[in-house]
Structure 1
Amino acid sequence: MVADYSLYGGAETIKRSARRTTVITPTAQDDGKAHIAPPMDPNDFLWMQNEEPHRSRRAAIMKAHPEVRRLMGYTPATKWVVLLVVSLQVALAVYLRDSHPFSAKYLAIAYIIGGTANHNLFLAIHEITHNLAFKSIWANKSLAIFANLPIGIPYSAAFKGYHMEHHRYLGEDGIDTDLPCRLELILLNNVFGKVFFATFQILFYALRPTFVRAQTFTKWHFINIAVQLVFNYILITLTGWKPWIYLIESSFFAGSLHPLAGHFIAEHYLWDGLPQETYSYYGWLNIFAYNVGYHNEHHDFPSVAWTRLPELKQLAPEFYDTIPSHPSWPMITVNFIRDKEVGIFARAKRVAKERKYTAAPRWEDQVSVDTTGKLE
């Protein structure tokens, strides 16, 4: 019997082990309007002493709604969306082969269509990283490498290891590479620094992990690099440099001042003085982003595919509708830049526990159910 690894949210082996946010259902503790906490100290991160919140909420939801188990597992829809978007990007790249890379037409297509499409592929790789496109590991990794092609730079294999550590060790300093480092806090904690950060987010997310925590290369890293280089070579040889430049521009715009890129800041930055580590967004832009806005839901249950995250929220409204969420992704970037009460410092960190880490752990997520849905 072939194991369905999507049930484990990305794991490849089984080892037991003035207010910016709103509240859908106001509570006595939070009416969704009042700024209920003082501003954070802008000179340091918020250091947490408690455990990350997703493990305990997952256990509470599974106890209250054991039927949540039926939502777990992969969805066949992912591969078709990936095929469509990859085809679109390759077709547009070839279409622009005779246009100047800095012409109005070229830049407009690269920002509006290309940026949206490549951001969609970023999140396709995120989804596939959790083994939620196929049952088997090799099929998911192969699809991630295919989804990587229009991005222009090979990263899908490296992303998997870093992202699984982000789930398992959320907020742990030196382990969770989603967190800004001390140097970023010193250099970028002002308006101009935040503009620079928001403009070049893609570079921070690409380069920071290599400085914070090196990975051990696997065969999939080399396959990812080789396939991408062959694709780039064929594209450039047959059509010239301009189509490849279009793909690179699309990737840059996708992780820069783009409406969808607000989700990078939305997900785990601290807002309104609250010590809340993860925020969701339930607006229509999720259509282009594999429902990544359902981010509390995703961290609680990484083994639930994007097509069923809205159903997860509807299943447990008493847990999700009372948590502050973001009403807009584009405004998050604007508020991040202009608001003195949020900045590079607005992240929750924990001192890394003393444990034996590996560069690419085999147990790659905080998922707590086995194939029968049994809570560990």
Structure 2
Amino acid sequence: MTVDYSLLGGAESLGPAKGQEWPERAPRRTFAPNEGENPNLHAHKVAPMDSSDFLWLMTEEPHRSRRQAIMKAHPEVTKLMGHEPLTKYVVAGVVSLQIGLSIYLRHTSPFSPWFILCAYAIGGTANHNLFLAIHEITHNLAFKGIAPNKLLAIFANLPIGIPYSAAFKGYHVEHHKFQGQDGIDTDLPTRLELLFLNNVFGKVFFATFQILFYALRPTFVRAQKLTRWHYLNILVQVVFDYWLVTTYGARPLIYLIMSSFFAGSLHPCAGHFIAEHYLWDGLEQETYSYYGPLNVLAYNVGYHNEHHDFPSVAWTRLPALRALAPEFYDNIPSHPSWPMVLVNFIRDKEVGIYARAKRLAKNG
């Protein structure tokens, strides 16, 4: 009987090339939106990666060259660039929802199923949305001016409970500018993570506590110099948390912190953290997109190749960018499911902490 691997997130894998003896390969996990008559065009072209080290590349990150090629082929792409006025209204709505729900639950025990369910299903989704709102605002895509964007990011940070928007901006700009560069791009796992988490139990731990890794790793890898925006972010958050606790008790803040934990844990939307830049199917492809329905809740961050190619294109216009240049995007493998990314990451022996592309840092 033929197994339909599409139900697991991909098609049946290819065998080794003639004369090679590869171990049995995992099912294919990604596919290209327009593969034509060969559904295995991008599948398992080489032997599995060495699980004892990252993939070290000498090549340039792919987005700069593709951006230049798209601009040459479609100069009208510049019309898609610029801020999106809708963002501030979405942020205001989600912030209001989370603060209101946290206050509503002030008489409910944090250990009750209702409290936990709300924190996971509603709070986790809402705070994940706010994580990505801050990501969008970091690129100055909510307002024309820089200061209004930073202030909106601090406002969006309130239901997250812990101040991070100002620090995120610096690290994320470096992630774009120095993608894959060891010691600069703090999105990359460290050697210590590779040593301790490169097994099934380690991957479960990593996927469960993703939010802590992304919060704490930058502090150890590349500490930032604090600015007035960092201090303002901290001050506003501390004042808000203090007001919330003194006025309504500790439970509203517990709800918000719990929501933030679930938002970066084993949550359907949190699959994007692993989906975006981990290596799959034996490919040296550093960035993967996802075009499914969860983008509605996540500022279209699934259009991740498109976003890295043109960080100045706002979330509402990323689908238009893909439609404008299909010859550049329809041949790039993408993920069919964020939740299945989490499942496959944990159970697939061919992907793990090591499945990231790194480059030696050229400057810092």
Please, what TM-score do these two structures have when normalized by structure 2?
A: 0.92
The residue identity in structure 1 corresponding to 2:158 is L
For residues 314-346 of structure 1, give each alpha carbon's deviation from its aligned partner in whole angstroms, at most 9, with x where no partner exists. 000010010000000000000000000000000
Is the aligned partner of 1:268 residue 2:294?
Answer: no
CA contact (8 A) 1:23 1:31 kept: no
- How do 1:9-88 residues align onto structure 2 when only pairs under 5 Å count? 18-26=27-35, 31-32=40-41, 34-88=43-97
The residue identity in structure 1 corresponding to 2:235 is A
CA contact (8 A) 2:42 2:283 kept: no
- Give 2:312's aligned residue: 303
- Give 2:204's aligned residue: 195
Q: Give how far 1:34 is off.
A: 3.7
The residue identity in structure 2 corresponding to 1:303 is S
- Alpha-carbon distance in structure 2 between the residues aligned to 1:133 and 1:265: 26
Gaps of 5+ in 1: 1-17, 358-376
- Give 1:146's aligned residue: 155
CA contact (8 A) 1:294 1:310 kept: yes
- How do 1:352-363 residues align onto structure 2 when only pairs under 5 Å count? 352-353=361-362, 355=363, 357=364
- Give 2:348's aligned residue: 339
SS at match of 2:155: helix
Is the aligned partner of 1:242 residue 2:242?
Answer: no
Q: Give how far 1:27 is off.
A: 5.9
The residue identity in structure 1 corresponding to 2:93 is L
- How do 1:280-299 residues align onto structure 2 when only pairs under 5 Å count? 280-299=289-308
- Equivalent position to 2:112, from 103, 120, 124: 103
- Alpha-carbon distance in structure 2 between the residues aligned to 1:44 and 1:34: 22
CA contact (8 A) 1:73 1:303 kept: yes
- Alpha-carbon distance in structure 2 between the residues aligned to 1:132 and 1:30: 37
- Give 1:224's aligned residue: 233
For residues 136-164 of structure 1, give each alpha carbon's deviation from its aligned partner in whole angstroms, at most 9, with x where no partner exists. 01100000000000000000000000000
- Give 1:4's aligned residue: none
Equivalent residues, number: 338
- Alpha-carbon distance in structure 2 between the residues aligned to 1:56 and 1:232: 45
Gaps of 5+ in 2: 1-26
- Alpha-carbon distance in structure 2 between the residues aligned to 1:192 and 1:34: 27
- CA RMSD of superposed structures (Å): 1.1
Please, what TM-score do these two structures have when normalized by structure 1?
A: 0.89
CA contact (8 A) 2:198 2:354 kept: yes
CA contact (8 A) 1:24 1:32 kept: no
Q: Considering Cα pairs closer than 8 Å and 6+ residues apart, tell me whether 1 or 2 has the greater RCO.
A: 1
